[in-house]
């Protein structure tokens, strides 16, 4: 089966400093893959490179394919039109707009043939957003704001959702809730690459784990096999395992 998303020999360097070197990574239809690793491991660099987007001006080499099509030379908007959608770290919502306005401002790009989630589907997925339609995004809780950011990304009609640390800054109960909701989104039409520093929470929802350390894949595999992998615990000692 053709992977939905595939990276080959993906390398990213900031000012000559290698931040990422991934020989191969792929995401199958209906899969939820967790990318875990400590601060600075290269998780954001990875998802940003997949989307062709960056903070700063890194040098990016290698190839990215979406459903078998080489998108490496394409701009971010062209990759979005082909089915990639990113919720960056910290979410991406307009704080001074209401929930309703935030959702209305998000939709498929011109020229995209991707069917977006309808507003009714969004409200069914996130009933809390429906209850808060007329609230400003700035007045939402951290968890609700993250749901709004995810909902906005779904309005672009993605087949692959890239989520960069959706649990950051959330209370433990909300982390579980948001990640469960992420799990419930995954199906034949939507795969998710979930960047997560919270290893414990990620293990509960993902199918497969990729452990990054200093820009390289240290270990990867089905979550059942990775759960007790000593390399995982070692990489996290003193960090997110607590």
Ligand X SMILES: Nc1ncnc2c1ncn2[C@@H]1O[C@H](COP(=O)(O)OP(=O)(O)OP(=O)(O)O)[C@@H](O)[C@H]1O
Q: Which residues bind ligand X (CB under 6 A)?
A: 14, 19, 37, 39-45, 55-56, 197
Work out how close the CB of 192 gets to ligand X at its nearest, in angstroms, rounded to a whole number: 17
238 Cβ contact partners less than 8 Å away, ≥ 6 residues apart:
none
3-state secondary structure the chain: CCCCEEEEEEEEEECCEEEEEEEEEEECCCCEEEEECCCCCCHHHHHHHHHCCCCCCCEEEEEEEECCEECCCCCHHHHHHCCEEEECCCCCCCCCCEHHHHHHCCCCCCCCCCCCCCHHHHHHHCHHHHHCCCCEHHHCCHHHHHHHHHHHHHCCCCCEEEEECCCCCCCHHHHHHHHHHHHHHCECCEEEEEEECCHHHHHHHCCEEEEEECCEEEEEEEHHHHCCCHHHHHHHCCCCCC
Q: Which residues pair with 188 in a beta bridge?
A: none
Residue 52 sits at the vertex; the CA angle it makes with 48 and 55, to the nearest 5 degrees, is 55
Work out how close the CB of 209 gets to ligand X at its nearest, in angstroms, rounded to a whole number: 14
Work out how close the CB of 197 gets to ligand X at its nearest, in angstroms, rounded to a whole number: 5
Minimal CB distance residue for ligand X: 56
Work out how close the CB of 158 gets to ligand X at its nearest, in angstroms, rounded to a whole number: 21
Whichever of 55 and 180 has its CB closer to ligand X, that residue is 55
Whichever of 107 and 169 has its CB closer to ligand X, that residue is 169
Work out how close the CB of 10 gets to ligand X at its nearest, in angstroms, rounded to a whole number: 12
Whichever of 44 and 102 has its CB closer to ligand X, that residue is 44
Whichever of 12 and 103 has its CB closer to ligand X, that residue is 12
Whichever of 56 and 187 has its CB closer to ligand X, that residue is 56
Work out how close the CB of 164 gets to ligand X at its nearest, in angstroms, rounded to a whole number: 7
Whichever of 18 and 128 has its CB closer to ligand X, that residue is 18
């Amino acid at each position: 089966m053709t992977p939905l998303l595939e990276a080959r020999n993906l390398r990213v360097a900031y000012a000559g400093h290698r931040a990422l070197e991934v020989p191969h990574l792929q995401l199958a239809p209906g899969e939820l893959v967790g990318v875990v690793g400590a601060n600075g491991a290269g998780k954001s660099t990875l998802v940003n490179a997949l989307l062709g987007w960056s903070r700063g001006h890194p040098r990016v080499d290698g190839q990215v394919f979406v459903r078998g099509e080489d998108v490496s030379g394409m701009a971010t908007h062209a990759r979005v039109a082909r089915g990639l959608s990113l919720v960056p770290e910290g979410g991406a919502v307009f704080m001074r707009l209401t929930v309703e306005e935030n959702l209305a401002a998000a939709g498929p790009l011109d020229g995209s043939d991707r069917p977006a989630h309808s507003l009714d589907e969004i409200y069914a997925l996130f009933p809390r957003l429906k209850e808060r339609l007329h609230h400003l995004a700035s007045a939402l809780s951290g968890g609700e704001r993250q749901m709004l950011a995810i909902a906005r990304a779904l309005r672009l009609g993605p087949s692959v959702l890239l989520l960069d640390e959706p649990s950051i800054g959330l209370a433990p109960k909300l982390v579980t809730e948001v990640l469960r909701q992420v799990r419930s989104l995954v199906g034949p039409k939507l795969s998710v690459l979930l960047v997560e520093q919270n290893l414990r929470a990620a293990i509960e929802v993902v199918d497969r784990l990729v452990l990054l350390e200093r820009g390289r894949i240290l270990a990867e595999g089905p979550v059942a096999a990775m759960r007790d992998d000593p390399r995982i615990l070692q990489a996290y000692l003193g960090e997110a395992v607590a």
